[in-house]
Structure 1
Amino acid sequence: MKEALEQIRQTASQLIAAADSEKAVDELRVRFLGKKGELTGILKQMGKLSAEERPVVGALANQVREEIDERIRARMKELANAALTARLAGETIDVTLPGKRPEQGGLHPFHLVLNDFKDIFLGMGFDVVSGPEVELDHYNFEMLTIPKTHPARDTQDTFYITENILLRTQTSGMQIRTMEKRKPPIRIIAPGRVYRSDAVDATHSPIFHQIEGLVVDEGITFSDLKGTLEVFIKKLYGPDTKVRFRPHHFPYTEPSAEMDMSCFKCGGKGCSMCKGEGWIEILGCGMVHPKVLENCGIDSEKYTGYAFGIGLERVVMMRYGIDDMRLLYENDLRFLKQFN
């Protein structure tokens, strides 16, 4: 039995020294020291030995076990150190190489144009207000005198959460909230995200952005509305830009109008951008309906006001010559990097 133990010691030492991976060393540990290992198999035969031989063989077996265990630990440490050295060598950084300039982000086209909007209207004394995208029917429709039978209230056009709660279809609700909280004079713009049940295509999206404006004060007339919007358009598109107003209808303004601007691409001569007409529809506007003012607790005999609304996507697409709205939402860096 002593010869068998010595043979295990010698074989284990040779194999452990030759093992080239931690997995191989662990397999040797199981082979020699495991519950079904070779050393355990020898110890199970000690019952056949005489009383004098058992202590001697037992001591030798413990010595062999400790020696194998120590060799395994040492070899594991050697292999771990070798692996670490190799990994560190592979990850060495040559500090003499030129550095790589980190990529910097930039503003989305929406923000580039929206910042221009804000600069223009802040320069004319307007405040910028914001409000909830999950809105009450009361603010989104009722206070704007939009009747229950109006097509805009239909579930085909509006995302309802409950009968009286919805995703706002316009930022006009912020006009109402502002008129309820402030006394005239009021001069605000309300930019924000709005939602309508539209199918996604090159010119439509269920999520888009609106910028609405409101002015309420004594003696406000349609001439004030026209002058403000004309200044706005000329600052946004250049001093040679012309505007015209066409009669229209909105439930919350009277009179109402749509405003066109001369095509900035052809100067009004006619091109593909304006479909040969020389004019581009840009926004809707009008004088605030007296009933809307009264709903908000404002004396319509004393105060008048005007309101307007413009789609941010439309302006962005026209400014940068984008023909597909989906490009503005897909976050393709190849597209977005063109604006920075």
Structure 2
Amino acid sequence: MSGPNSEYDPVEVTPLKAEEVDAMRVAALEAIAAATSLDELKRVRSEHAGDRSPLALANREIGALPPQARKDAGMRVGRARGEVNQALAQRQQVLEAEAEERMLAEETVDVTLPWDRAPQGARHPLTTLQELVCDVFVAMGWEVAEGPELEAEWLNFDALNLGPDHPARTMQDTFWLEPADGGLVMRTHTSPVQARTMLERQPPIYVICPGRVFRTDELDATHTPVFSQVEGLVVDKGITMAHLKGTLDHFAESMFGDGITTRFRPSYFPFTEPSAEVDLVCFVCRGLEPAVETCRTCKGEGWIEWGGCGVVNPRVLAACGIDAETYTGFAFGMGLERTLMFRHGVSDMRDMVEGDVRFTTAFGTEI
């Protein structure tokens, strides 16, 4: 920046000469008029109206003039900057209008065009899987039995040999309805449907019982407080664990393909005796070497836990009015969400309950 002059001599500061200021103004106006897009105008604005533009730098030189010359120089530079800013604003409006017209022309959609395709709908995969399971057992001559989701405490627990001190009765597992001593719960399994069936009819009984159940679990990738179960019950003369094993092997093949078998591991359930956990042979590696060693699905075990089963406890038969000396039976239960995860590689159970149409659409109308 030049030092202050003691005498009036406008030639001392070259950028402030009238012809220099006018040349800056003209150059700026020509550049503005030549801008054909908002991006170009933004560059022109920086070059001719920004802090480092010629007119802005000339404005800073006004302080180097003697007091008598500052007024004229300031007015000259101010008028030039005002014209440039006005031209920028006008050009901005024009380019914005052109951009909007261009966007409307390029992105327009003719909503009057004929169309012959309706969006494909989808049913929830749990619904279609439940129907598929029922079809498997109906084809074997079984019946489908259903019951209420709001259930009596006696049917949900006592009739199934779950005594008053059983841990499943505590608030940590069960949704109790008020008042607390009213004896009503949201069913924790579909086994009450089995109890109702045994109370309502005489053997032989072959029923499959699908439906929603409720437990006070936290929602995460593998648990949800509302989920679906399918349970089976057979009560007839001469029923053994061999019948149970054959039934579950057929069920497993129907769900996961030919060659899928099951195995039993000893376990405990109050309503069956003896009781067992049901494992599937891994439907990915099939439990065969060497694939089983690196299988991520079964983690090298060759088997995957599927559900529980057992011979119906004589106490349950007696509680439901069936002669335990004459009849025997078996029961089993599996989670439909777990079965769906196995069949289709769903990794997060929350995807099934969050209502995202993108999840259900992938399954279509049938599974």
Tell whether 2:161 aligns with 1:142: no
Distance 2:299 2:176 in 1: 36
Q: Deviations over 1:253-308 (max 9, x none)?
A: 00000111111122222511112211001110000000110111100000000000
SS at match of 1:297: coil
Match of 1:151 in 2: 167
Q: Which residue of 2 aligns with 1:332?
A: 356
Quote the offset at 1:231 in angstroms. Answer: 1.1
1:202 is paired with a residue whose SS is coil
TM-score (norm 1): 0.71
Cα displacement (A) at 1:100: 5.4
State the match for 1:111 in structure 2. 127
1:166 equivalent in alignment to 2:185: yes
Amino acid at match of 1:138: W
2:143 equivalent in structure 1: 127
Are residue 220 (structure 1) and residue 239 (structure 2) matched? yes
SS of aligned partner of 1:239: coil
Between the aligned partners of 2:149 and 2:131, the Cα distance in structure 1 is 20
Gaps of 5+ in 2: 1-109
Residue type of the partner of 2:135? D
Aligned residue among 237, 260, 265 for 1:246: 265
Alignment partner for residue 187 of structure 1, among 185, 201, 206? 206
TM-aligned CA deviation for residue 110 of structure 1: 0.6
Counterpart CA distance in 1 for 2:258 and 2:344 is 19
Aligned match of 2:38? none
Partner of 2:330: 306
Q: Which residue of 2 aligns with 1:176?
A: 195
The alignment partner of 2:176 has SS state of: coil
- State the distance in 2 between where 1:253 and 1:115 align: 26
Q: Structure 1: which 4+ aligned runs deviate by more than 3 Å?
A: none
- Measure the CA separation in 2 of the matches of 1:317 and 1:166: 28
| 8 Å contact kept, 2:241–2:310 | yes
Distance 1:133 1:242 in 2: 32
Q: Which one-letter code corresponds to 2:302 in the other structure?
A: G
The amino acid across from 2:176 in the alignment is Y
Instruction: Count residues with an aligned counterpart.
Output: 247
- Matched letter for residue 304 of structure 2: I
Is the 8 Å Cα contact of residues 275 and 310 (structure 2) preserved in structure 1? yes
In the alignment, the residues of structure 2 paired with residue 151 and residue 100 of structure 1 have an alpha-carbon distance, to the nearest angstrom, of: 59
The one-letter code matched in structure 1 to 2:151 is E
Partner Cα distance (1:327, 1:166) in 2: 27
Please tell me whether the aligned partners of residues 222 and 349 of structure 2 are also in contact (alpha carbons under 8 angstroms). Answer: yes
Shift of 1:189: 0.7
More divergent stretch after superposition (188-197 vs 106-115)? 106-115
User: For residues 215 and 190 of structure 1, what CA distance do their matches in structure 2 show?
Assistant: 11
Residues 1-340 of structure 1 correspond to what in structure 2 (within 5 A)? 97-99=113-115, 101-161=117-177, 162-163=180-181, 164-268=183-287, 269-270=292-293, 271-340=295-364
Where 2:325 maps in the other structure, the secondary structure is coil
Alpha-carbon distance between aligned partners in 2 of 1:107 and 1:336, rounded to the nearest angstrom: 7
Aligned 8 A contact 2:211 2:229 in 1: yes
AA in 2 matched with 1:283: G
1:104 shift after superposition: 3.1
User: Are the structure 2 counterparts of residues 94 and 262 from structure 1 closer, same or farther at C-alpha, using a change threshold of 3 Å?
Assistant: closer
| Shift of residue 101, structure 1, vs aligned partner | 2.2
Fraction of identical pairs, as percent: 52
- SS of 1:220's equivalent? coil
When structure 1 is superposed on structure 2, of 222-231 and 111-120 the one drifting more is 111-120
Counterpart of 1:244, as a letter, is R
SS of residue paired to 2:362: helix
Please report how far the alpha carbon of residue 242 of structure 1 lies from its aligned counterpart in structure 2 after TM superposition: 2.3
- The RMSD of aligned alpha carbons is 1.3
Q: Which residue of 1 aligns with 2:85?
A: none
What is the alpha-carbon distance in structure 1 between the residues aligned to residue 337 and residue 357 of structure 2?
Answer: 18
Structure 1 Cα separation of the partners of residues 202 and 258 of structure 2: 34
Give structure 1 stretches of 5+ with no counterpart: 1-92
Distance 1:112 1:297 in 2: 35
More displaced 10-residue stretch of structure 1: 260-269 or 182-191: 260-269
Tell me how far 1:94 sits from its aligned partner: 7.4
- Give 2:357's aligned amino acid: L
| Alignment partners' CA distance in 2, 1:94 and 1:175 | 56
